[in-house]
Homo-oligomer: A and B are copies of this chain.
Amino acid sequence: MTKTRLEAFSDAVIAIAITIMVLELKVPHGVGWEALRPVLPAFLTYVLSFAFLGIYWNNHHHMLHAAERINGKILWANLHLLFWLSLFPFVTGWMGENRAPLPTAIYGVVMLLAAVAYTILQAAIIEHHGPKSKLAAAVGGGAKEKLSLASYVLAIPLAFVHPWLSIALYVFVALLWLVPDRRIESTLNP
């Protein structure tokens, strides 16, 4: 029961965050091609954030599927993750409007803190189920997680060198999770 409701609440928050992001895609006032030009980068940022939230939903889904019981600590760790995910529409709107250094760095900060929150949630679930649980085995070395965290840490200062370097790193992380390349996976998680 508890787990079901935790999943339902998380699904709802992620579904809402993923959907209301579209409200940051301002309907242009003009009707020509030039009216679409400012929409394009905002749209691409939207695609990126949609991919990230989709990845989070997918991973959250698998992690909770492996979990058998929930305690208070897990509930709060989950809310903490949802907090950072709920900020996606804000940072997507800001970075989408202009690929300036600060908004691009802040996007990375929210990404990083969401990833940290996910790691905390995972640790809380593993702690509750024991180191020999199915979930602990499934997580393994967590090379993808570490590479993602490192990319965010790198992307934040790089935004002040050139925003596109950071954006390239964000796209890299998204592809890392989206592309199910078994070779890469087996190299990273041997």
Interface residues of chain A, those whose CB is within 8 Å of chain B, are: 1-2, 5, 7-9, 11-25, 27-29, 31-33, 35-36, 47, 50, 54, 57-58, 61, 65, 72, 75-76, 79, 82-83, 86-87, 89-90, 93-94, 97-98, 100-103, 106, 178, 180
Interface CB pairs A-B, < 8 A, 8: A9-B14, A20-B23, A25-B90, A28-B94, A33-B102, A54-B76, A54-B83, A76-B178
Question: A15–B12 contact, CB under 8 A?
Answer: yes
Closest 5 CB pairs of A and B: A31-B100, A12-B15, A16-B19, A27-B93, A54-B79
- Per DSSP, chain A at the interface is helix
- Please give 8 more A-B residue pairs, beta carbons under 8 A apart, in addition to A31-B98, A31-B101: A1-B65, A5-B7, A11-B12, A19-B20, A19-B86, A22-B87, A54-B79, A72-B180
Residue of B20, B31, B101 touching A103 (CB-CB under 8 A)? B31
